[in-house]
Every structure is written in structure tokens, then in C-alpha cells.
């Protein structure tokens, strides 16, 4: 099951008796919950909202598969993405309504961001960052720490956004190789 096609897993879930959780459901969850969570991290304000989204989307997906409501199980990725998009849009509408109410009636206290427990080990990452060429390190810091776009960085460095992206891609590949080498050693 762990090496087969996503569509095969989806069809196995669809064939499941509604009263029992199966290995197919577990496998589908294992495969897609991280992707939905990433989608949530990108489109929602914090990690706990992304965690909730992953749970909610996978519940809907599995329920609809079992009910025979997914017409093309082979395109399960598209179905999960579509469900994720709809739920995020719904959450945003709800969030806008909630924010409007909160702004009117009570002081708003922003929820604290939960740190990423899986953040790369700093002791291993530091020498990889230090090993970059100065120009690449500047671009990486401006991108990932100062949240600047390639266009903004290009304006600072007097180059083009395309050149910044090329340098950034090279830097990221170097960091990844360096980090993996240090993990292996």
C-alpha cells in the first residue's frame, strides 16, 4: 500500500465499509494530511489553523470517498486540493466576519505563533549558511529573514529579479546538500 498510486489508495478507501477504519484510510491520511497542512500554512494565519485544516479536510475527503461522492478517485490529489481551497475560503469569510465583530466590541489579542517543532537544527544549519558566498547569503537572509521579494532584493543589489532567483536557487541547493551531508555524518 505504501508504494502504490494515490488513486489506488483512494479507491481502497471508497471500497471500505463505513464502520471500520482501514489501512487504506491511514495511508491516505499519511499521504495527504501533510500536504493539506502545508497548504494551510501558506494560506492561513498560524500553524494551529493549518493543523485544524488538515484534520477537517481529510475528514471530508474520507467521508465523501466512502459515500461514493468522489467521481474520479484517480484524481484524488485534485479533489483534496479543491476541498482545501473551499475550506480555506470559508474560513477566511468566517475570519473576516469574526474580525469585524471583534474590532467593534472588544480589544483583539493576536494568538501566539506556535514555533515549527521541525525547524532545521541550527547547529547544522549555521555552518551551511556561513559556507555560502556573501552575495548568496545576503539574498537568503533578505528572502527568509527580512521577507523581501526577488524584485525588492534586485533593487537593493542593483541586479535583476531573475538573477536574484538564480542565485537563491543555487544557494538553496548548496544549503540542502550541506545540511544533508551533515545529517549523514
Partner 1 sequence: MTNTSAPCPSFGELADYWTSDITPADAERIEAHIFDCERCARMVADADRLRDGIGALARAGSIQGFVNDAVLNRLARDGVRVRYYALNPGESVRCAVWSDDDVLVTRLRGNFAGVESVDAEMRLDSGEEWAHTTDIPVPEGATELVMALPAAVVRTAPRSPIRLTIRANEQVLAEYVFDHQGAIERAPSSNDRE
Among 31, 64, 66, 182, binds partner 1 (CB under 8 A): 31
In whole angstroms, give the CA distance from residue 61 to residue 38.
17
Question: Phi-psi bin for 68: left (phi > 0), alpha (psi -120 to 50), beta?
Answer: left
Decide if residue 91 touches partner 1 (CB under 8 A): no
How many chain residues bind partner 1 (CB under 8 A)?
57
Decide if residue 130 touches partner 1 (CB under 8 A): yes
Among 131, 176, 181, 183, binds partner 1 (CB under 8 A): 176
CA distances (Å), origin 3, targets 9, 72, 76: 10, 20, 16
Taking the complex as a whole, how short is the minimal distance between the CB of residue 162 and partner 1, in angstroms? 12
Among 34, 90, 94, 162, binds partner 1 (CB under 8 A): 34
- Contact 12/71 with Cβ under 8 angstroms? no
Q: Is the dihedral of CA 168, 174, 177, 183 positive or negative?
A: negative
Longest dimension (CA), the chain: 63
Decide if residue 108 touches partner 1 (CB under 8 A): no
51-70 binders of partner 1 (CB under 8 A): none
Tell me the helices (H) and strands (E) count for the chain, helix number first. 8, 0
Decide if residue 5 touches partner 1 (CB under 8 A): yes
Among 49, 56, 66, 141, binds partner 1 (CB under 8 A): 141
In whole angstroms, give the CA distance from residue 3 to residue 6.
9
Decide if residue 7 touches partner 1 (CB under 8 A): yes
DSSP three-state, residue 185? coil
Residues found near partner 1 in the complex (CB under 8 A): 3-7, 31-32, 34-35, 38-39, 41-42, 74, 77-78, 80-81, 84, 115-116, 118-122, 125-126, 129-130, 133-135, 137-138, 140-150, 156-158, 165, 168-170, 172-173, 175-176
Amino acid at each position: 500500500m505504501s508504494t502504490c498510486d494515490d488513486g489506488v489508495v483512494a479507491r481502497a478507501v471508497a471500497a471500505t465499509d463505513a464502520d471500520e477504519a482501514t489501512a487504506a484510510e491511514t495511508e491516505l491520511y499519511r499521504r495527504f494530511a501533510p500536504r493539506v497542512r502545508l497548504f494551510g500554512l501558506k494560506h492561513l494565519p498560524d500553524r494551529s489553523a493549518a493543523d485544524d485544516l488538515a484534520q477537517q479536510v481529510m475528514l471530508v475527503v474520507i467521508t465523501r470517498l466512502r459515500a461514493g461522492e468522489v467521481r474520479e478517485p484517480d484524481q484524488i490529489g485534485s479533489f483534496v486540493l479543491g476541498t482545501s481551497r473551499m475550506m480555506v475560503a470559508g474560513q477566511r469569510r468566517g475570519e473576516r466576519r469574526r474580525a469585524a465583530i471583534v474590532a467593534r466590541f472588544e480589544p483583539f489579542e493576536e494568538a501566539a505563533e506556535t514555533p515549527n517543532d521541525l525547524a532545521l537544527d541550527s547547529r547544522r544549519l549555521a555552518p551551511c549558511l556561513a559556507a555560502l558566498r556573501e552575495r548568496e547569503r545576503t539574498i537568503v537572509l533578505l528572502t527568509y529573514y527580512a521577507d523581501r521579494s526577488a524584485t525588492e532584493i534586485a533593487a537593493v543589489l542593483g541586479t535583476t529579479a531573475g538573477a536574484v532567483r538564480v542565485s537563491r536557487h543555487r544557494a538553496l541547493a548548496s544549503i540542502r546538500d550541506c545540511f544533508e551531508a551533515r545529517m549523514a555524518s
